[in-house]
């Protein structure tokens, strides 16, 4: 027998269409801030030629951000040092 002791054999025949294409869109928004990722590829088939284009869009340009941080270090002799970071204002950029 051709496939040994196999109980079943699946035979998939895949044919590349001569005309057609595909479109997929993806949106991943953030619910509580302005961060998100959106994309959409498009593929077109015509004969043996395949054409494709993809667009990406990301909402990360000029988003207000800041960091406020406090920490205290205690030395072995009991003396402590405190470091504080305060926000200066600014924005994030995806460039």
Q: How far apart, in Å, do the first and last CA atoms of the chain sit?
A: 62
Residue 86's closest CA among 68, 66, 65, 64?
68
Would you state the pLDDT for residue 68? 80
- Whether 76 has a pLDDT exceeding 90, the answer reads yes
DSSP letter at 2 equals T
- Whether 48 has a pLDDT exceeding 70, the answer reads yes
Domain ranges of the chain: 19-92
Inter-CA distances, 7 with 11, 12, 30, Å: 13, 17, 49
* SS3 at position 34: coil
Q: How confident is the model at residue 65 (pLDDT cuts 50, 70, 90)?
A: low
Structure tokens at 53: 């284009």
pTM for the model? 0.40
Arithmetic mean of pLDDT, 64-81: 86
Rg (C-alpha) for the chain, rounded Å, is 28
């Amino acid at each position: 027998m051709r496939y040994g002791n196999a109980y079943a054999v699946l035979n998939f025949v895949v044919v590349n269409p001569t005309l057609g294409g595909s479109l997929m869109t993806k949106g991943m928004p953030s619910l509580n801030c302005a961060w998100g990722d959106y994309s959409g590829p498009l593929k077109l088939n015509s004969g043996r030629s395949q054409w494709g284009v993809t667009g990406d869009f990301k909402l990360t340009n000029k988003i207000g951000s800041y960091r406020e941080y406090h920490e205290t270090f205690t030395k072995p002799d009991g003396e402590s040092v405190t470091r504080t970071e305060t926000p200066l204002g600014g924005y994030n950029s995806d460039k």
